[in-house]
Amino acid sequence: PQMKLVFGLIVALQVSLCLCDVPAPSQELVDKYQGLKSVFYKRLENGFENFMEFIVPLAEGTVTGEKAKEVAEHLKSCPKLQTAIKLAQVLFKELEPLEDKARLAVLGLYEEYLRPYWGEQLDKTITAIKPLLDQWLPAEDH
């Protein structure tokens, strides 16, 4: 039942988008989003680093670990992979303005149509989850 409501809301928003301009989000919402995104990326980065610090010593000295090390060394020196990485970086840089425009459009739609109804509950949920994330996937190294 809720998925049908969400699907209906999305279709209604798409139809209304065809009829009018997308509202711009407030600077407060953009700043809040940027802050949450920044902390999320820090959590992922620290979590990956902690995982690697845990898993690398376990894998060292094993056949699988040594093979993985060989593959990683080979990939680092592979010119085709380096070219593909550079191409992907250029592509992402070129697509960044489109991503920003799409992000602002989604934030504007959220603020206009969904935030009045779901914003407070979403904020409470994020606040409630934050202590668990700080414990299990901290944004800062301890």
pLDDT in tens, 53-110: 887 777 777 777 777 777 777 777 888 888 888 888 888 888 888 888 889 989 999 9
Residue 142 lies in a domain: no
Q: Of 104, 118, 116, which is closest to residue 21 (Cα–Cα)?
A: 104
Q: How many domains does the chain have?
A: 1
Residue 62 lies in a domain: yes
pLDDT for 66: 75
pLDDT confidence band for 17 (50 / 70 / 90):
low
Residue whose token pair is 């009018």: 20
pLDDT for 15: 63
Residue 7 lies in a domain: yes
Residue 9 lies in a domain: yes
Residue 32 lies in a domain: yes
Q: Read off the tokens for 19.
A: 């009829």
Residue 65 lies in a domain: yes
Q: What is the pTM of this model?
A: 0.67
The dihedral through the CA atoms of 63, 65, 69, 72 has a sign that is positive
Kindly tell me if the per-residue pLDDT of 119 is higher than 70: yes
pLDDT for 9: 75
Range of the domain at 83: 2-136
CB contact at 8 A, 13 and 113: yes
Residue 141 lies in a domain: no
Residue 81 lies in a domain: yes
